[in-house]
Amino acid sequence: MDYDLVVIGCGAGGLASAVAFAEEAGRDARIAVLERATREGRGGATRWTSSWFRITSDRQLDPAFVETMERVSKGQADLEYCRTLAAEVPATFDFLDRHKVPWVYFEQPFANRNTGGGLAMPVPGGVAIVDTLAAVIDGLPNAAIHYETEATSLATDAAGRVTGVHVRGPDGERLLSARAVVIACGGFEGAGDMLVEHLGPRGNEMPVIAPTLVNNRGDGIRLTRPLGGDVAGQFDMFHGEPVDTRSTKADAVIYGYPFGILVNRHCQRFFDEGQDSFDATFERLGYEIWANQEQQAWFIGEKAILDWPHVADIMLTDQPPVEAETIEGLAEKFGLDPQALAKTVAEYNAAIQPGETDRRIRDGKCTAGINPPKSNWATPVRQGPFIGYPLTTAITFTFGGIRSDAKARVLREDGTAIPGLFAAGEVTGLYYGEYPAGTSVLRALTFGRIAAREAAAKH
Ligand SMILES: Cc1cc2nc3c(=O)[nH]c(=O)nc-3n(C[C@H](O)[C@H](O)[C@H](O)COP(=O)(O)OP(=O)(O)OC[C@H]3O[C@@H](n4cnc5c(N)ncnc54)[C@H](O)[C@@H]3O)c2cc1C
What is the per-residue pLDDT across 177-208, written as a single tens digit (0 to 9) for each?
999 999 999 999 999 999 999 999 999 999 99
* Mean pLDDT, rounded, for 156-181: 97
For residues 202 and 150, give the distance between their C-alpha atoms in angstroms, rounded to a whole number: 28
Q: What is the band of 459 on the pLDDT scale with cuts at 50, 70, 90?
A: very low
- Looking at the DSSP bridge assignments, the partners of residue 164 are 155, 177
Residue 200: C-alpha distances to residues 192, 216, 239, 292 (Å): 11, 19, 15, 13
Q: Which residue has the higher pLDDT, 83 or 110?
A: 83
Contact 258, 364 (CB under 8 A): no
Query: Is 436 touching ligand 1 by the criterion CB < 6 Å?
Result: no
pLDDT above 60: residue 335: yes
- CB distance 215 to ligand 1 below 6 Å: yes
* pLDDT averaged over every residue in the chain: 97
**Total Cβ atoms within 10 A of residue 97:** 12
Q: Is the CB of 54 under 6 A from ligand 1?
A: no
> Is the CB of 151 within 6 Å of ligand 1?
yes
pLDDT at 117: 75
Using alpha carbons, select from 390, 205, 389, 400 the residue that is nearest to residue 291: 205
DSSP type of residue 252: -
Residue 393: name the closest of 238, 268, 279 by CA.
Answer: 238
Q: Please tell me if the CB atom of residue 240 comes closer than 6 angstroms to any atom of ligand 1.
A: no
| C-alpha to C-alpha distance for 65 and 333, rounded to whole angstroms | 43
Per-residue pLDDT at 458 exceeds 80: no
Q: 248 — alpha (psi -120 to 50), left (phi > 0) or beta?
A: alpha
Do residues 386 and 326 touch, judged by C-beta distance below 8 A?
A: yes
pLDDT at residue 114, as a whole number: 72
Q: What is the pTM of this model?
A: 0.97
User: Dihedral, CA atoms, 105, 107, 109, 112, nearest 10 degrees?
Assistant: 90
Using the atom order of ligand 1, give the atom closest to the CA of residue 397.
Answer: 19
Q: Tens digit of pLDDT for each residue in 367-376?
A: 999 999 999 9
Answer whether residue 385 shows pLDDT above 80: yes
CA distance 178 to 155: 9
pLDDT digits (tens, 9 = 90+) for 247-279: 999 999 999 999 999 999 999 999 999 999 999
Mean pLDDT value across residues 280-307: 97
Ligand 1 pocket test: which of 33, 46, 149, 224 has the largest number of ligand atoms within 8 Å of its C-beta? 46
Q: Is the CB of 15 under 6 A from ligand 1?
A: no
Three-state secondary structure call for residue 70? helix
Give the residue whose CA is nearest to atom 52 of ligand 1.
49
Alpha-carbon distance of 33 to 137, in angstroms, equals 9
Residue 112, pLDDT > 90, answer: no
State which ligand 1 atom lies nearest to the alpha carbon of 16. 25
The stretch 208-225 carries a mean pLDDT of 97
Query: Quick one: which atom of ligand 1 is closest to the CA of 448?
Result: 25
- Listed in order, strand segments (DSSP E) in 35-183 are 103-107, 118-122, 143-146, 150-156, 162-169, 172-183
Going by alpha carbons, the residue nearest to atom 15 of ligand 1 is 440
Alpha-carbon distance of 429 to 234, in angstroms, equals 7
Say how far apart CA 33 and CA 143 lie, in whole Å. Answer: 8
**C-alpha 176 to ligand 1 mean position (Å):** 23
Please list the residues that pair with 103 across neighbouring strands.
Answer: 122
